Amino acid sequence: MEKSNLNEKTIQINSVKFHWSNKSKFKLHIPELSVDKGEKVLLLGESGSGKTTLLSLICGFLTPLSGNIQLNEKLINDLSATKRDQYRSDNIGIIFQQFNLLPYANVIDNILLPLHFSKLRSASISNQRETAISICQSLRLPEDVVNMKASELSVGQQQRVAVARALIGNPPLVIADEPTSSLDTDAQNLFLDLMFSQVASSNSTLLMVSHDKSLSSKFDRVIDMKNVSVKEQ
């Protein structure tokens, strides 16, 4: 198991270049970056270092100007926009910094939302509602929360619902963009522990972005943007 994991790469990036326009100062060049299957990786970086751009490239919102991005050994930058959207909903669970949920929808509907766009993920679940409730339970969300409106939840609860949504249907990859930055230290630790156990139980790979070095010890591996990207003049 361990051994096969080492060979399988969830993310494989080779000599990727991206910039918005020729005039812009910001240019991203990543010669090589890879994340193994089942790994929990922390991507550290200052603001403006290109973390979010990198995530957008991995999620298929953006396509690189040159280079290759492979997810589960599938090259995604050649796919059409529609196919990339489909690939994203089938394979990636995304957790934002904050405001993850549709405020007007209830918690269950928010959690089940990705299943609406991914047949692959919805096919793996027999009873969607029960599955959503059981994930909520393992994330220690109060029972009555599931039928509440997302806007009525506390920030910590909202972030945990976002985890539940990202992991429903067991996508191979979970991307989290500073999901703890709006939480205090205690809540941060609880959140990370809950997220890790959930990621582990669905055999997903986790790539989390943060600027907070103190979180490093909790992860299998830490990648610093400084070390993977090349400054271009």
Partner 1 sequence: MLLKLTFNSLYARLLTVGMTVFAISLSLMLYMSVEKLRTSAYTSFTDTISQTDLIVGARTSSVQLLLYSVFRIGNATNNITWESYEDVIDRKEVAWSVPISLGDSHKGFRVMGTNNEFFKRYKYRGGQSIELEKGDNLDDLYDVIIGAGVAEKLNYSVGTPLIVSHGLQSFSDHDDQPFKVSGILAKTGTPVDNTVIVSLEAIEAIHVDWSTGAKIPGQITPVEEIRQMDLSPKNITAALIGVNSKLQIFQLQRWINEYPEESLSSILPGVALQELWRIVGVVENLLLGISVTVIFTTLIGMTAIIFSSLNERRREMAIWRAMGASPKVVIGLLMLEAFIISVMSIIVSTVMLFLTLYVLQPWIDNTYGILVNIETLAVKDIYIFMLFILSASLVSLIPAIRAYWFSINDGMTIKI
Q: Which of 56, 70, 124, 182 binds partner 1 (CB under 8 A)?
A: 56
Q: Looking only at residues 123 through 152 of this chain, which bind partner 1 when binding is defined by CB under 8 A?
A: 151
Cβ-based neighbours of 117, under 8 Å, separated by 6 or more: 85, 86, 89
Residue 172 binds to partner 1 (criterion: CB under 8 A) = no
Residue 52 binds to partner 1 (criterion: CB under 8 A) = yes
Rounded to whole angstroms, the Cα distance separating 82 from 158 reads: 29
Least Cβ distance, residue 3 to partner 1 (angstroms):
32
Q: Which of 228, 213, 214 is nearest to 44 (CA)?
A: 213
Comparing CB distances to partner 1, the nearer of 149 and 189 is 149
Q: Where are the alpha helices (DSSP H) in 46-145?
A: 51-59, 81-91, 107-117, 119-123, 128-138
Residue 208 binds to partner 1 (criterion: CB under 8 A) = no
Stretch that binds partner 1, among 21-29, 98-106, 138-146, 195-203 (CB under 8 A): 98-106
Q: What is the dihedral of CA 49, 53, 93, 181, to 10 degrees?
A: 40
Contact yes or no for 71/87 (Cβ under 8 A): yes
Binding residues for partner 1, per CB under 8 A? 52, 55-56, 59, 61-62, 81-82, 85-86, 88-90, 94, 96-97, 99-105, 109, 112-114, 116-118, 151, 177
